[in-house]
Chain A
Amino acid sequence: MASSRIEVLNQGGYRSDGRKQHELRSIAIDLAPQGVADGAATITHGLTTVLVSVFGPREAKLRSQTLHDRATISVEVGVAAFSTGERRKRSKGDKRLLELASTIKATFEPVIQTALYPRSQIDIYLHVLEQDGSLLQTCINGTTLALINAGIPLLDFVCAVSGGVHVASPLLDLNQLEENDVPHLTLALMPKTKKITLVTMETRLHVERFEEIFRLAARAAEVIHQEMRAAIRIKANTLVASMGSTRATVDGTDRDGNHMDED
């Protein structure tokens, strides 16, 4: 799949898919409900698509798994066999998927206000429909949106973005080709407090290059936050409109800095 001699960044400063160095791929967000899920989101970054459904907080299937003072979170990731270039069926016990699931769980555990729902469970199911790099980023952004859509109280958005360094030039939002060739990291940021909830890197990167890409990715995460917030606002506005409420729209009431996504 990865032909070795693809130019990651050409002399004109363009990447293999025609983007500039710091350009993100197009984002599409669909917050329509899926089946009986309490909240769902389909998010597309370029050609990577993930569908996330959230159930809960609800009674846990196994009583033994509950915690007396907070809700437990379970994350399950499934990958469609046709999502990659080469067909490959991944079973549920696949190490790679379990790792992805546990990374997502660790990212959201400090963000979801689990203490509000003792002895209950929140289930997050992710289904990867298309893959073209930056899978973790897409999964995290989709999970944030689905949780908000399900009305589960979060401390803040979690916005993730991937970045890499080609020779000395930092790149953002890598596609599969770039991900195969370039050392890369994924970063998840809570935009309000600028706290970082996740940084992962599986490849090696020179320590002097790290700070540059780290700062750049943090800025990119804020751009992604704008997009996600806009999508949530549109959804919230249609909900408010369909309730026939005479109150001001979300845009009007949000000026005092309160996010209305929690209710």
Chain B
Amino acid sequence: MATTSLSKAEKSYIQAGLLATPPQRIDGRDLFDFRTVALETGVAPLSNGSARLNIGKDPQDGGGGTGVIAATKLEVENVEEDGTDGGRLVCSVTCSPAAYPHLSPGALDDLQQDMTTILHQTLSHPSLHPANLGILPRKKAWLLNLDVVVLSDAGNVYDALFMAARAALYDTKVPRTRLVEMHSTKIAQKSWNTTDGMDVDQSAPSGLDTRQAPPAQDFDLVDYWDEGEELDGRTRWPVSITLNIVSSSYFLDGNLQEEAAVPLRILLVFSFLDVNAPTVQATRMLGSGEIQLDQIKSLLSDGQKYAWEIFSSLTAKLKDEDVRRTLKDRERFVTRQ
């Protein structure tokens, strides 16, 4: 999936630098250094949760870097038609042609299809499913659409995708709903009769009828000062770490040229309940290279360490953003007319 064309000489120059002692990268970073990550949540006002993320922005002119916007939107779905009970999550990734100016439209479609598949398969896994996407059991549920737009690619786009997706999902607020029951006049009549103490309950559910309809028929949105409750399990959403493999060593957060120069990249996606309870949510090998089995084991444990670093610092930043924005909302509520 090399999106940059690189000459043989450039390739071997980059590889030789990475394998030298001490290793040298073209932008002077250490092998395991990340570029600066900038994150802001709440960037799309018409969405239920959103985030804008940039890796490696130039501090001087504010340009460059890998730029991604992720936003979630909730829709009500009929479970009978095409929804699933308890709601579902659908991810899609769109790449702006500006991010890949030398790709043909067909190749761009393929690329965004690849990214969509990885993101969707990982995030829609049952182990990560939020519990509060159901509205009316067996009738209505939320469809959570996660749309990610890649605005520019300066390398390491998968890590950016997962971080932005995690931030947008963390930021998502599910509107509060209240179930509405509709009583038929017959029932109303009966309950009126009960006050006389004369009524015999005739419509007791038959023991043979296994398909008891839920009593609630419809739902209603609750008017409250905030936009809803946060999505359940929002601390669970995973982060990914891409290990760029050059023979026996590896490095993190490669830029476009470095990515084009390495034969193999391994994508590891981790979720953490805490530092001691990691789960691997997905792995992918990208590129044409191959790797020894025993090397994978050490890569996996190293990857877990770096993923935890990303995970914990991302969580800290998201909490910061949450406080900043919730405070702003509260103040606006207090100072309203």
A53 to B98, CA, bound (A): 6
Using a CB–CB cutoff of 8 Å, the interface residues on chain B facing chain A are 44-47, 50, 58, 60-65, 67, 69, 71-73, 75, 92, 94, 96-99, 101-102, 104-105, 145, 147, 149, 151-154
Contact with B along A20-46 (1 / 0, CB 8 A): 000000000000111111001000000
Q: Residues of B contacting A87 with CB < 8 Å?
A: 73, 75, 145, 147
- How many contacts A-B (CB < 8 Å)? 91
CB-nearest residue of chain B to A84: B46
Chain A nearest CB from B62 CB (Å) reads 4
A82–B63 touching, CB < 8 Å: no
A33–B69 touching, CB < 8 Å: no
Count residues on chain A whose CB falls below 8 Å from chain B CBs.
Answer: 29
B145–A76 touching, CB < 8 Å: no
Beyond A78-B97, A125-B96, 18 additional contacts (C-beta under 8 Å) are A33-B61, A35-B64, A35-B153, A36-B64, A36-B101, A36-B152, A36-B154, A51-B151, A76-B97, A80-B149, A81-B94, A82-B73, A83-B44, A87-B73, A87-B145, A89-B92, A127-B96, A130-B45
A55 on the B face (CB < 8 A): yes
Instruction: Tell which of A35, A61, A80, A84 touches B98, judged by Cβ atoms closer than 8 Å.
Output: A35
Contacts A34-B67, A35-B99, A127-B96 given; does A82 touch B44 at CB 8 Å: yes
Chain A nearest CB from B71 CB (Å) reads 4
B149–A34 touching, CB < 8 Å: no
Chain A interface mostly:
loop
A129 on the B face (CB < 8 A): yes
A156 on the B face (CB < 8 A): no
CB-nearest residue of chain A to B58: A33
B64–A33 touching, CB < 8 Å: yes
Chain B nearest CB from A39 CB (Å) reads 11
Q: Residues of B contacting A224 with CB < 8 Å?
A: none
Instruction: Tell which of B58, B60, B71, B154 touches A80, judged by Cβ atoms closer than 8 Å.
Output: B71
A92 on the B face (CB < 8 A): yes
Chain A nearest CB from B77 CB (Å) reads 12
Q: Which of A51, A82, A92 has the largest number of chain B CB atoms within 10 A?
A: A82
A55 to B100, CA, bound (A): 11
Q: Residues of B contacting A83 with CB < 8 Å?
A: 44, 46
A81–B92 touching, CB < 8 Å: yes
Instruction: Tell which of A35, A82, A92 touches B152, judged by Cβ atoms closer than 8 Å.
Output: A35
B98–A47 touching, CB < 8 Å: no
Chain A nearest CB from B184 CB (Å) reads 32
Chain B nearest CB from A32 CB (Å) reads 4
Top-5 shortest CB links A-B: A35-B152, A33-B63, A53-B98, A82-B71, A32-B62
Interface positions, chain A 90-106, Cβ under 8 Å from B, are: 92
A34–B44 touching, CB < 8 Å: no
Chain A nearest CB from B102 CB (Å) reads 8
A129 to B44, CA, bound (A): 8
Sampled A-B contacts (29; CB under 8 Å)? A33-B61, A33-B63, A33-B64, A34-B63, A34-B67, A34-B151, A35-B67, A35-B99, A35-B151, A36-B64, A36-B101, A37-B101, A53-B96, A76-B97, A80-B44, A80-B71, A84-B46, A87-B73, A89-B92, A92-B105, A123-B101, A125-B96, A125-B97, A125-B98, A127-B98, A127-B151, A129-B69, A130-B45, A242-B60
A55 to B72, CA, bound (A): 30
Instruction: Tell which of A32, A78, A92 touches B63, judged by Cβ atoms closer than 8 Å.
Output: A32
Q: Which of A35, A37, A80 has the largest number of chain B CB atoms within 10 A?
A: A35
Q: Residues of B contacting A244 with CB < 8 Å?
A: none
A257 on the B face (CB < 8 A): no
A80–B63 touching, CB < 8 Å: no
CB-nearest residue of chain A to B149: A80
Contacts A32-B61, A34-B67, A61-B104 given; does A82 touch B97 at CB 8 Å: no
Chain B nearest CB from A120 CB (Å) reads 14
Contacts A47-B45, A83-B46 given; does A34 touch B73 at CB 8 Å: no
A244 to B152, CA, bound (A): 29
A18 on the B face (CB < 8 A): no
Contacts A81-B147, A82-B71, A84-B46 given; does A35 touch B92 at CB 8 Å: no
Chain B nearest CB from A162 CB (Å) reads 20
B61–A130 touching, CB < 8 Å: no
Q: Residues of A contacting B63 with CB < 8 Å?
A: 32-35, 40
Q: Residues of A contacting B104 with CB < 8 Å?
A: 61
A252 on the B face (CB < 8 A): no
A12 on the B face (CB < 8 A): no
A51 to B151, CA, bound (A): 9
CB-nearest residue of chain A to B72: A82
Contact with B along A234-246 (1 / 0, CB 8 A): 0000000010000
Instruction: Tell which of A76, A123, A127, A130 touches B46, judged by Cβ atoms closer than 8 Å.
Output: A130
Chain B nearest CB from A86 CB (Å) reads 8
A51 to B96, CA, bound (A): 10
Interface positions, chain A 178-220, Cβ under 8 Å from B, are: none
Instruction: Tell which of A35, A55, A82, A123 touches B147, judged by Cβ atoms closer than 8 Å.
Output: A82
Chain B nearest CB from A229 CB (Å) reads 20
A78 to B94, CA, bound (A): 9
Chain A nearest CB from B80 CB (Å) reads 21
A130–B151 touching, CB < 8 Å: no
Chain A nearest CB from B74 CB (Å) reads 9
Chain B nearest CB from A189 CB (Å) reads 27
Q: Which of B75, B102, B147, B151 has the largest number of chain A CB atoms within 10 A?
A: B151
CB-nearest residue of chain B to A37: B98
